[in-house]
Structures are given as C-alpha cells and as structure tokens.
C-alpha cells in the first residue's frame, strides 16, 4: 500500500463547493503578495482538507477498473506522451 506523504487528503468536490462559499469581499492580493496565501484562504483550505476522507472507495474502484482496461489510456495519449518525451531537452545538459 502506498503511504500518504502527509496527513492531508484533498477532495476536489469539496474544493469547488468551498471556493463558491468564499466571501465576495475578499480583495485580490497585492502584486508583492501574489505568492502568499491569506489566513482566510489557508483556513478554508485546512477545513476542506480535514473534512475529506483519506480513502475514497469510489476513486479506488475507478482506479481498479482503469488498471484492467486494455484501452486505457488511449493510444493517442500514449503517442503524444512519447513524442513529448523524445522532443524534450535533457535537463542534465
């Protein structure tokens, strides 16, 4: 079993619903603070993470189904990834 790297997990559905609940009065960050999270955003994210189960059975079942699907991922995707790998520069150079 793969162990989590932290005690947090993330449910995208919760993130979308929590993002919509965010106050409209929140102002855009200053250009200097563009890389910082406000305390309100941090608290909202922390709440969403703590309310998310660590293991989601529906996601596990989807993964199992895809693992045995001979057509997943589609050949087109594999070819595109292979092309990107061949064309990418070697970062060690």
For the whole prediction, is pTM greater than 0.75? no
Q: What is the pLDDT of residue 25?
A: 45
CA neighbours within 13 Å on the CB side: how many for 1? Answer: 4
Low-confidence ranges of the chain (pLDDT < 70): 1-37
Give the pLDDT confidence score for residue 32 in this predicted structure: 54
* Per-residue pLDDT reduced to its tens digit, 34-46: 566 688 888 888 9
Question: What pLDDT does 87 receive?
Answer: 92
What contacts 41, CB < 8 A, 6 or more positions away?
A: none
3-state DSSP of 53-76: CCCCHHHHHHHHHHHHCCCCCCHH
Integer distance in angstroms from the first to the last C-alpha of the chain? 36
Phi-psi region of 36 (alpha: psi -120 to 50; beta: other; left: phi over 0): beta
Per-residue model confidence (pLDDT) at position 57: 95
């Amino acid at each position: 079993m793969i162990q989590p790297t932290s005690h947090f997990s993330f449910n995208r559905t919760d993130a979308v619903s929590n993002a919509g609940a965010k106050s409209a009065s929140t102002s855009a960050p200053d250009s200097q603070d563009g890389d910082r999270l406000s305390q309100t955003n941090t608290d909202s994210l922390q709440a969403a993470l703590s309310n998310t189960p660590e293991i989601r059975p529906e996601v596990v079942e989807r993964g199992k189904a895809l693992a045995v699907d001979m057509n997943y991922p589609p050949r087109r995707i594999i070819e595109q990834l292979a092309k990107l790998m061949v064309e990418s520069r070697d970062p060690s150079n």
